Structure 1
Amino acid sequence: MKTTKLVVGILMIVVAFFISIQSVMAGMSEAYINSNGHAGVAGLIVALLYLASGIVYIATRGKNGFGPDIASMVMLLVAWILGLVNAGIYKDLIIWSWIAFIIGIVFFAWNKLEDSKK
């Protein structure tokens, strides 16, 4: 599980970079067409939550307990809700939101399953 958390944490940080670039572009296009959407700002917040969760996974990959997994799960569930509600013209945000949901739930369930085996 240590290696998996390291790899997923690094991938989440890289994905956060791509989400932030897409969010800036979505925000600029929203401003250009004078829409009242919030997809650009929501995407930046989702990117920050991805970044924070990736850092938590990397920093706590060797620790036992549910604290880091609960914190990451909460951040990723917030990213999931925020992305789904505010996608607007930025339809990729829906995909990033569902990926956040899957990662948060899977790591928590995996840690819970390993704890129950002990």
Structure 2
Amino acid sequence: MDLNLQELPVHQRGDAVSSMVYEANARVRDPVYGCVGAISSLQQQIDTLQTQLALAQAEVVHLRVRQTASYSHHGFAPTSPTNSGSPSSNHGSQVKPIFDMDVVMDQASLGEPMWSC
């Protein structure tokens, strides 16, 4: 690509030069893929972190469900402003989990998988 900096508005010339320097350095580090290799690597990191986040959120849901089941099994439930907090007044109440499992699992599928090309 032939770029003449004189054709750009003055306020964009600094950004254009910075971009060209970055791209040139990326090409020195990775002669075959250049910036595309760096972007691909960062995308893989994002995909991995999104998967880890979704798994952690699912674990939180799992632990909250276990905790709620444990409370229910022993006749207790977390207190709410609408009841007195005693075990007998909480018996049979429905506790809504903080995370919707469908939402958590949808987050795991955000972005493209790591192995896509």
Structure 1 and Structure 2 fold alike (TM over 0.5): no
Interval of TM-score (by shorter of Structure 1 and Structure 2): 0.3 to 0.5
TM-score by length of 1: 0.36
Structure ranking higher in helix proportion: 1
Bigger RCO (CA 8 Å, 6+ sep): 1
TM-score by length of 2: 0.36
